[in-house]
Amino acid sequence: MVAFEPRNVDFRPRVEARFARQRFLSHLGCSLTFVAPGTVDIALAFNSDLGHAHGCVHGGVVTSIAESAAACAALTLAPAERDVITTELKVNFLRPAGEGRLVAQGRIIKPGRTLMLCQADVMEERQDQRVHVLTGLVTVMTV
């Protein structure tokens, strides 16, 4: 696990402001639960609007919070004058996400100047266990 130096000391309010402007995330019911240089967690409690044909959370929702956590993790390391956009992502669905609380963790693997590569994982908390429901890689470009 690498420790990263932020290139902008105000990384935390910056991530919070971006998160607050993302209406889709608040609309889903997401909250920002951890922000550190190179790592961001986003949590989402189940509600029935997230549902899928089989009574579990739609894969697009799980992917959305993974992507958002990754993009926010990249933002913690971006210089103050640059914004970030996601250019591509790849995810594998390990298990269906059910009615537990989801926690997405975005973690920077390589903080390049132009491209940052992030790992994204989503865990579902079911009673006393955490189940790994998604893993993926997200590329974010600074612009």
CB of 113 to a second copy, least distance (A): 11
Q: What are the backbone dihedrals phi and psi of residue 38, each rounded to the nearest 5 degrees, phi first? A: 90, -5
CB of 114 to a second copy, least distance (A): 7
Spatial neighbors of 81 by CB under 8 A, at least 6 apart, are none
CB of 141 to a second copy, least distance (A): 7
Distance CA 74, CA 93 (A): 22
Q: Give the nearer residue to a second copy in terms of CB position, either 5 or 60.
A: 60
Distance CA 93, CA 135 (A): 7
Angle in degrees, CA 108, 71, 31, rounded to 5: 110
CB of 66 to a second copy, least distance (A): 8
- What are the residues binding a second copy (CB under 8 A)? 18, 21-25, 27, 48-53, 57-61, 63-65, 67-68, 85-94, 96, 109-110, 114-115, 117, 119, 132, 135-137, 139, 141
Q: Give the nearer residue to a second copy in terms of CB position, either 8 or 135.
A: 135
